[in-house]
Structure 1
Amino acid sequence: MGNSCLSAPDALLVKIHNPVFLWKVYGFSALLQRGALAAKSAAFHCSGYNWYLKVSPMHKTLGDGTPHVALSLVLSRLSFKPDYTMNAVFVLSMYNHSKGNFLVVKASYNFDVKNTHSRNICLISLEDQLKSSEYLLDDTCVLGVEILQIDVCRSLKKKNVKVQKKFLFLQKKKFVSVQNLFLQKKDFTKGDYTWTMNNFPELDLKPSVLSPAFEIGRRKWFIRMYPRGDEYSTNSLSMYLFPQSWDKLLPEPGMMIELTLSILNQNNAQLHKVSGRFVFASKNGWGWSNFIALNKLKDLVGSSCIVKADITIIGSSSESQIVV
């Protein structure tokens, strides 16, 4: 994955495109104003699995400093089993408001629970997107996903044994999941929380530990840490942010959150951080299975470990379905 990217010349303008998911991002330039962080949609369902669409608004490839708007398809590991692999053939797209068609790139990727993000696909240079209203009309960008084929295999004794094969064919009527993301450019709700663990060597022996609950944006949250990593990590500490008792809240739109989790020293100086943008629309958490390598962590912390969560609510998200 990394900085690899399918180049823009691979993108084609087509009139016939049958997305199963559309992501309408209102206030797209707000992503640019707050830096180059990628943003993930809320989950959408297709062919028995949950997926996300990730947009990197200023993606740069190795050897090319030109920023591009890049997309990546993400498989939810919670809807997939370990010891299985999935080869998916899909199309990622951006709507052309002027011509009424889509800029598309067809790609494929082998997913498993430790490789859930396809490589980035550069659809258009950021300069080309911003200079006209074709792909950014009234600061609104529409992104799409079409999944063409899924092959799922189980690995047994280092041999791939096919246990399931799925094809998705065009139908006269089908449901399209539509998510509307409304981004703010000012008046953000933000807050931070610092979690100090003075007995970290003892906690290190536990599978996972939870922080006390804390309140930001009229909601309560907690941090979940896996000191030796969760089932998806590779020799790394895992850490996630969760909403507390989301199912007890009244129905309301999801939230686009800009999250930074950091490890601090005794003087509250930042030693390591990871940031991302996620839609929190259910009780599921967001974070990183490979937050920091365990050998690096040992060099940074001793008997105590200080974790800080910085949370900024930068927008709201709603979803619906349409029949086409």
Structure 2
Amino acid sequence: MVQEFKKNHTNSHLFKIDNFSLLTKYEIDCIESSVFDLCGRKWKILVNYDEDEEHVSIFFENQDPLDVELEYQVYVVSQLKAVWYPKANVKWDFSASSKPIAKGITNLMSLDDLKSKGFLIEDCCMFGASLPDQKTERPGTAECFSLIEKPLNNKVTWMMTKFSSFDAEKAHQSNEFIVGNRKWRIEVHPRGHEEAKGESCSVYLVGEGYINNAPKTKTFAKSKLRALDQVNRNHLEATDSYWVDEEYDDTNGFMEFMPLSKLCEPYLVKDKFYVGVEFEVISVAKYV
């Protein structure tokens, strides 16, 4: 159906969301597409899910400064037949602004209607945006967003040998590793970062580039950072959820991860310190 839609709908971008029910489990209320091109301009689709009201909303957001009036459509696509809702075009006067402007439909459809009317099937839902009054022969584009629980290689441990030789005043990063379709590193500040300097060891999860030409979009992750207890296996752990920016992002983690008073046995043994990350869930995006 995706390929048929792309072929028959120029000036369109389809945003497919798999494992839709996991949005509620992980309290995700907004999903952004990657930046895509329609008629030489840059855009995003934003899908909001209100868990309390059980409604979805959809918005079309310009990524380039514009000062023009355009007709656009935002909609949800049926998986039973070649229709989408709603059919109406909307005129949007883009005023010149340095910031993105999002326009669309609040409370597009209830969760019950999505299921009963064939828009949400097998935990998959498809949304889209079009510029119907713009002419082009270029086929439509599409991407898929999905939440993956316990992804491949979801546990990574960094053994910091000769820990005393690491400059305590600087940040140190592990080798690069891949989880989902993104590159990551663990970052350790032995004597703390910013306000925690001199008080705690700070540990962060750093998001870097993407593999396999994946769409550059924000990555949702729920992960656990841990320092390994090498004697009793009573590891020190901290868990959090965050959206990792599509560009290099080293802000997610814990400034006050471990008090410096604990940076000794059983966590630091024979000048070795083990720090790791475990991903409970991660989002991945791919072109389809």
Q: Does the TM-score normalized on the shorter chain lie above 0.5?
A: yes
- What TM-score, normalized to structure 1? 0.50
Change in 2 beyond 3 A, CA 1:66/1:45: same
Aligned to 1:10: none
Q: CA deviation at 1:48?
A: 1.8
- What TM-score, normalized to structure 2? 0.55
Percent of residue pairs identical:
14
Change in 2 beyond 3 A, CA 1:252/1:93: same
Residues 175-214 of structure 1 mapped to structure 2, 5 A cutoff: 175-184=139-148, 186-188=149-151, 189=154, 213=173
Q: CA deviation at 1:101?
A: 0.5
1: CA distance between counterparts of 2:186 and 2:103?
29
Determine helix, strand or coil for the equivalent of 1:24: strand
Q: Which runs of 5+ in 2 are unaligned?
A: 1-7, 157-168, 188-205, 223-237, 258-277
Q: Counterpart of 1:72 in structure 2: which amino acid? A: F
Structure with bigger gyration radius? 2
| Equivalent pair of 2:56/2:111 in contact (CA under 8 Å) | yes
Aligned to 1:139: 123
Q: Which runs of 5+ in 1 are unaligned?
A: 1-15, 60-64, 149-166, 192-198, 200-210, 224-240, 261-268, 289-304
Determine helix, strand or coil for the equivalent of 1:168: coil
Residues 239-258 of structure 1 mapped to structure 2, 5 A cutoff: 243=208, 251=212, 253-254=214-215, 257-258=219-220
**RMSD of aligned Cα (Å):** 4.6
2: CA distance between counterparts of 1:37 and 1:128?
18
Change in 2 beyond 3 A, CA 1:317/1:135: same
Aligned to 1:31: 23
Change in 2 beyond 3 A, CA 1:286/1:91: farther
Aligned to 2:229: none
Aligned to 1:123: 108
2: CA distance between counterparts of 1:117 and 1:312?
31
Change in 2 beyond 3 A, CA 1:103/1:133: closer
| Equivalent pair of 1:97/1:133 in contact (CA under 8 Å) | no
Change in 2 beyond 3 A, CA 1:35/1:285: same
| Equivalent pair of 2:10/2:139 in contact (CA under 8 Å) | no
2: CA distance between counterparts of 1:252 and 1:286?
19
| Equivalent pair of 1:89/1:106 in contact (CA under 8 Å) | yes
1: CA distance between counterparts of 2:244 and 2:44?
12
1:168 matches 2:129: no
How many residues were matched structurally? 213
Change in 2 beyond 3 A, CA 1:103/1:183: same
| Equivalent pair of 1:52/1:75 in contact (CA under 8 Å) | yes
Q: What is the aligned counterpart of 1:49 among 38, 41, 47?
A: 41
